[in-house]
């Protein structure tokens, strides 16, 4: 079937968007015997994992740096072929002093560069946080419970979570309830003395979220990170075989192997709905394709404000969707280098993992303050990887690519990004020069992607890679809104399966997996 077909085509399900969640949903449906068509506006599948050329001879693997939340059940179910035997990679914190802190294993099972007393304190905090994140993890592989309609599965999840707390004792249960909505700064101050470790926790808790470490509930971001597992270890992180650029194609292969038809360069112009019932889509070239089920794996705002007739959803629902907080605040710097740079204090083997340039909790908080008023910080914090180390095809022989995620870079920059982009890029290059003297001489090309650029390149409204804030009022029964929190929407036959649905963003595959299983469960007599 090609986009030139003039006749109306009929499928059991159409998935809008070939990001990893859309491909996961499509694969699960197809493996259950449904005929599934995936429509993608871009030239290739993968969504924000899509590789792209940013300078002659140099490619970026996409927005994601590392895998830390890819769900094992999703991988097994769809047959993902790059997730086998993952190798854990380290995190290194550099504060400019030349003294590195290196976390090895799963989120610092082993730690180098701190005193024995600080290592013991971090181990105690890590143990507590991993346990508490595991309590919340029980709710990620299922639709969120519906208030007033709690089913047996929900009761079982609640019971298991409660039993896990009770088994740990009253003190641990009280601590979980005490810490659940705390800010990450207070928790770090309670346990740790080393500013570098505090800065690490602050960065990881707030990356991609419009919060500072002293903002209430910011600890939730760290819990969210620690719900992920790699090689069966909570908090682990890895680089998949072939690097991050291999991940998007791997999801596409899994979907195609399941029998899914993927059609790229085919934007959807409209989702057909009549009297509250979805019936298919119309593509940008005017082709109408019918299906009783439409699964949207793109941003909820794009789905309901651009593709669906608002009259089909109701004014209250549309108002709630329009008011979703979805303004990104992370920029990405891509550098094309003619050689691998040397960062002061960085162990040679740590180049395979991620590097954080952060001095302290206070630096992260101070970097956040300007973002509240539409400005970027003159002293930002950064996460760095070298994508071409895992995938040499991203750079010419002898060359190297560097990717840096930068906190904070507000979508609605005061004065606009046309003037702001070169100013921020200058700050970032100067900071890199401080940590890697001479790196400026090896730069072949530089590209700075602001949230506005991410919106244009990857179809992310607001440039928010989570498709909406990961904060307490936009999670669980309120993700993206109460009326669409269980993957079904007010329009019968239309479902959500992207990062804007439960349990949220990151490379987990769970929104798509949960959505497809929910659809299939609803078809059973």
CB 235 within 8 A of CB 226: yes
Percent of the chain with pLDDT over 90: 81
- CA dist 301 → 14, 270, 304, 459 (Å): 19, 13, 5, 11
DSSP sequence for 410-454: -SS-TT-HHHHHHHHHHHHHHHHHHHSTTGGGGEEEEEEE-HHHH
Angle at CA of residue 204, ends 200 and 209, nearest 5°: 140
CB 67 within 8 A of CB 406: no
Q: Where exactly are the structural domains of the chain?
A: 9-52+71-81+244-325+464-523, 112-234, 330-458
Among 210, 49, 143, residue whose Cα is nearest residue 501 = 143
The count of C-alpha atoms lying within 13 angstroms of the C-alpha of 363, restricted to the half-sphere facing its C-beta, is 22
Question: Is the predicted pLDDT of residue 168 greater than 80, yes or no?
Answer: no
Among 83, 9, 76, 79, residue whose Cα is nearest residue 39 = 9
Name the CATH architecture for the domain at 9-52+71-81+244-325+464-523: 3-Layer(bba) Sandwich (3.50)
pTM of the model: 0.93
**Tens-digit pLDDT profile for residues 33-45:** 999 999 999 999 9
Contacts of 276 (CB under 8 A, 6+ apart): 312, 490, 491, 492
* Per-residue confidence band for 79, with pLDDT thresholds at 50, 70 and 90: very high
Q: What CA–CA distance (Å, rounded) separates 486 from 518? A: 8
Q: What CA–CA distance (Å, rounded) separates 363 from 129? A: 23
**Tens-digit pLDDT profile for residues 4-29:** 444 456 899 999 999 999 999 999 99
Q: What CA–CA distance (Å, rounded) separates 87 from 387? A: 15
Name the CATH architecture for the domain at 330-458: 2-Layer Sandwich (3.30)
**Tens-digit pLDDT profile for residues 342-372:** 999 999 889 999 999 999 999 999 999 999 9
**Tens-digit pLDDT profile for residues 193-204:** 999 999 999 999
Contacts of 497 (CB under 8 A, 6+ apart): 15, 21, 22, 24, 25, 295, 296, 297, 487, 511, 512, 515, 516
**Tens-digit pLDDT profile for residues 441-495:** 999 999 999 999 999 999 999 999 999 999 989 998 899 999 998 899 999 999 9
The single-letter DSSP state of residue 460 is: -
The number of residues in the chain equals 525
- CA dist 12 → 30, 35, 289, 290, 519 (Å): 9, 5, 11, 9, 12
The single-letter DSSP state of residue 303 is: I
């Amino acid at each position: 079937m090609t986009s030139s077909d003039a006749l109306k085509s009929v499928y059991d399900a159409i998935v809008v968007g070939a990001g990893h969640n859309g491909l996961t949903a499509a694969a699960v449906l197809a493996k259950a015997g449904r005929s599934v068509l995936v429509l993608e506006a871009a030239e290739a599948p993968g969504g924000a994992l899509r590789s792209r050329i940013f300078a002659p001879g140099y490619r970026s693997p996409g927005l994601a740096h590392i895998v830390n939340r890819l769900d094992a059940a999703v991988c097994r179910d769809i047959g993902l072929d790059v997730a086998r035997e993952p190798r854990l990679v380290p995190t290194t914190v550099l504060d400019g002093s030349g003294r590195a802190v290196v976390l090895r294993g799963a989120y610092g099972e082993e730690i180098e560069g701190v005193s024995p007393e600080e290592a013991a304190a971090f181990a105690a905090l890590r143990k507590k946080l991993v346990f508490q994140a595991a309590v919340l993890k029980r709710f990620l592989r299922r639709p969120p419970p519906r208030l007033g309609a709690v089913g047996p599965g929900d009761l079982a999840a609640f019971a298991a979570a409660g039993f896990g707390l009770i088994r740990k004792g009253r003190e641990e249960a009280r601590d979980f309830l005490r810490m659940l909505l705390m800010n990450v700064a207070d928790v770090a101050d309670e346990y740790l003395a080393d500013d570098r470790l505090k800065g690490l926790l602050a960065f990881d808790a707030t990356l991609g979220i419009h919060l500072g470490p002293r903002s209430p509930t910011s600890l939730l971001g760290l819990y969210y990170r620690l719900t992920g597992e790699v090689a069966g270890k909570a908090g682990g992180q890895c680089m998949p075989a072939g690097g991050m650029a291999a991940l998007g194609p791997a999801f596409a292969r899994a979907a195609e192997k399941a029998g899914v038809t993927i059609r790229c360069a085919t934007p959807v112009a409209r989702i057909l709905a009549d009297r509250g019932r979805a019936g298919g889509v119309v593509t940008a070239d005017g082709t109408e394709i019918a299906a009783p089920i439409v699964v949207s794996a793109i941003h909820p705002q794009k789905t309901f404000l651009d593709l669906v007739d608002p009259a089909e959803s109701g004014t209250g629902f549309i108002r709630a969707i329009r008011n979703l907080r979805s303004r990104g605040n992370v920029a990405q710097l891509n550098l094309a280098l003619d050689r691998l740079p040397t960062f002061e204090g960085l162990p040679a083997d740590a180049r395979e993992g991620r590097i954080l340039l952060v001095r302290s909790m206070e630096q992260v908080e101070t970097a956040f303050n300007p973002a509240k008023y539409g400005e970027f910080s003159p002293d930002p914090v950064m996460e760095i990887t070298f994508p071409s180390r895992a995938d040499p095809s991203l750079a010419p022989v002898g060359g190297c690519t560097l990717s840096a995620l930068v906190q904070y870079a507000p979508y609605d920059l005061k004065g606009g990004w046309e003037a702001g982009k070169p100013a921020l890029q200058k700050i970032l290059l100067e900071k890199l020069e401080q940590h890697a003297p001479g790196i400026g001489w090896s730069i072949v090309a530089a590209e700075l992607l602001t949230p506005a650029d991410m919106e244009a390149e990857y179809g992310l409204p607001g440039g928010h890679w989570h498709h909406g804030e990961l904060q307490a009022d936009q999670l669980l029964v309120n993700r993206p809104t109460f009326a669409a929190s269980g993957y079904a929407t007010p329009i019968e036959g239309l479902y959500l399966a992207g990062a804007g649905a439960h349990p949220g963003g990151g490379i987990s595959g769970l929104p798509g997996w949960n959505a497809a299983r929910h659809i299939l469960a609803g078809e059973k007599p």
